[in-house]
Amino acid sequence: MSKVIVAAFGVSMDGFAAGPDQSLENPLGVRGTELMGWFFPTKTFNDMHGDGGGTTGVDNEFAARSFVNIGAWIMGRNMFGPIRGPWPDESWKGWWGPNPPYHVPTFVLTHHARPPLEMEGGTRFIFVTDGIQSALRQAKEAAGKKDVRIGGGTSTVRQYLQAGLIDEMHLVLSPVLMGKGENLFAGLDLHVMGFKCVERAASEKATHVVLKKTGGA
Amino acid sequence: MSKVIVAAFGVSMDGFAAGPDQSLENPLGVRGTELMGWFFPTKTFNDMHGDGGGTTGVDNEFAARSFVNIGAWIMGRNMFGPIRGPWPDESWKGWWGPNPPYHVPTFVLTHHARPPLEMEGGTRFIFVTDGIQSALRQAKEAAGKKDVRIGGGTSTVRQYLQAGLIDEMHLVLSPVLMGKGENLFAGLDLHVMGFKCVERAASEKATHVVLKKTGGA
C-alpha cells in the first residue's frame, strides 16, 4: 500500500534538522551540511551527481532505499530555494541544476502561484498554493501505488506530522551539536502519536533509525 | 587534572533524559528506564547489584568507564528521592539501599537542610542548601585530583551546563521516543558553549557519544 514517508532525514543530537540562516550559500542553513556528512560519501549520492565511486556500507544502503518506490515528492518552498515572497520571475528552478534527483512529480508548497516546471529526467515541479492537504492529495494521485516522500524542510515535515499524515520516518542521527536552527521534535509528542523505532543500524558516521506509526501509544 | 563530568547519561531521540511524573515506582519518570536499556544488561550494572554475569561489549566498556576516577558525585534532590519539600524525617536514604553504588562523598542539592548520612561502602550523602556553586566547590575539595561526576537529574545537569561548569559529557542515545519529560537540550546552545563530539561508538542498543568542551564555537 502507498505510504507517506520521510527518509534520509538528517538530525543532530540536539534535534535540529537544519542549521539557522538558510541562504544561497547555505541551502541547509549554517553548518546544516554537517547533518548530511553520512550521505555525501555514499555511492548513491555520487551516482546522482555523476562523479562515480562512493562508499557502499550501511549509509549507502539506507541512502539507496530512500529513493526506492517513490512516486511523488512534496517539499516546502525553502527546500526548493532561498527566495521568499512572490516569485520575481521564473528563473529559479531549484538548487539541483537542469536534471534534479527526483524524476517524478514534485509538489512545492508555496503561497505564490507559479506554472509547473518541466525539468530533465522526469522531474516536474508543481507549485501548490492551497495547503498541505491539497499537496498530499495531488501527490498521492500522482504516485499511484508508490509512496509519497515528504522531502523537507523541517517545518514541512512538522506540519505533516502535526496533521497525523506521516506513516514512516527514516532519520539519520549524526554526532553533531547544532545549537540552533529548526528543531524537528520541539513540542511534538511522537510517542503519543504512535511512532516507535522498528529498525536501527549504526555506521561509522551516524545512526539510522526507522520510526513507524503503530497506532497510538 | 580534575574534571567535572556527566557520564552514562541516557537520552532519547527526542532529547529527553527522563520521563514525566517521577515517583517511588518510577524513579526515572514514566518509561524513563527505557533510556537505560543499554545499561541494565551490562556486567558493570550486574556487579554493582550483586547478581554477577552481564554483557561485556561496548555498552559495558562505557558503563565501567563512567565509574573510573570519580572522587565525588553531585546529584539533584529528585535523583536522591521522590520526596518534595521539607524532609518529614530522616528515614529516606536514597533509592539504592544500605550500600549505594557511589562509595565517595555525594553531594545532594536541596533547599532543606539535613545532617550528612553515612552509608555502607564509603558513600557519604552531604546535603547542600546554598546552591550549585557551593556544591561544586565542596565536591572538588572532596575529590582532590579525581573527577567530580554530576549524576543528574536533567535539571541539575542543565543548571551546571548553563553556568558553564561542565567539561565533558558522555551521553547514551537510545532509539526511544519519550515525547515528554525533561529535555536535556531545550534552549541550550551546546555548540556555542564549545562542546564537540570527540568520540562515538555504537552498540546493538545505543549510540555512545563523548562531548568535550573545546573552548567556544
- How many A/B residue pairs have CB atoms within 8 Å? 75
Q: Which residue in the set A15, A188, A190 is minimally distant from B185, CB to CB?
A: A15
Any idea what DSSP says for residue B4?
A: E
Nearest CA in chain B to A19: B191
Q: What is the mean pLDDT of residues A127-142?
A: 98
For residue A75, is pLDDT > 80?
Answer: yes
Which domains, from first to last, does chain A contain? 4-17+69-86+97-181 (3.40.430.10)
Q: Which residues of A touch B (CB under 8 A)?
A: 11, 13-15, 31, 171, 173, 175-180, 185-186, 188-193, 195-197, 200, 202, 207, 209, 211, 217
ipTM of the complex: 0.90
Check: CB of residue B177 under 8 Å from CB of residue A197.
Answer: yes
Q: Work out the minimum CA distance from A209 to partner chain B, whole angstroms.
A: 7
For residue A217, is pLDDT > 60?
Answer: no
Q: Which residue in the set A14, A171, A191 is minimally distant from B190, CB to CB?
A: A14
Q: Is the peptide bond before B153 cis (omega within 30 degrees of 0)?
A: yes
Span B58-80, pLDDT tens digits: 999 999 999 999 999 999 999 99
* Closest among B149, B137, B64, B136 to B104, alpha carbons compared: B149
pLDDT of residue A26: 87
Q: Work out the minimum CA distance from A15 to partner chain B, whole angstroms.
A: 6
Any idea what DSSP says for residue A55?
A: B
pLDDT of residue B217: 46
pLDDT of residue A215: 67
pLDDT of residue B66: 97
Give the residues of chain B that fall short of pLDDT 70: 215-217
Nearest CA in chain A to B198: A175
CB contact under 8 A, A209 and B171: no
Check: CB of residue A46 under 8 Å from CB of residue A53.
Answer: yes
Check: CB of residue B184 under 8 Å from CB of residue B153.
Answer: no
CB contact under 8 A, A211 and B177: yes
Span A18-32, pLDDT tens digits: 998 888 888 889 999
Collapsing DSSP to helix, strand or coil, A188 comes out as coil
Q: Which residues of A touch B31 (CB under 8 A)?
A: 191
Span A170-197, pLDDT tens digits: 999 999 999 999 999 999 999 999 999 9
Span A38-58, pLDDT tens digits: 999 999 999 988 778 999 999
Q: Which residues of B touch A212 (CB under 8 A)?
A: none
Q: Which residue in the set B13, B176, B191 is minimally distant from A177, CB to CB?
A: B191
Identity of residue A141 = E
pTM confidence score? 0.93
Nearest-angstrom CA–CA distance, B43 and B32: 21
Nearest-angstrom CA–CA distance, A121 and A94: 14
For residue A136, is pLDDT > 90?
Answer: yes
Q: Which residues of B touch A175 (CB under 8 A)?
A: 197, 200, 207, 209
Q: Work out the minimum CA distance from A118 to partner chain B, whole angstroms.
A: 39
CB contact under 8 A, B177 and A190: yes
pLDDT of residue A23: 87
CB contact under 8 A, B179 and A217: yes
* Closest among A67, A82, A87, A134 to A107, alpha carbons compared: A134
**In whole angstroms, how far apart are CA B129 and each of A55, B113, B149?**
56, 6, 19
Residue to mutate among A11, A12, A14, A213, with most B CBs inside 10 A, is: A14
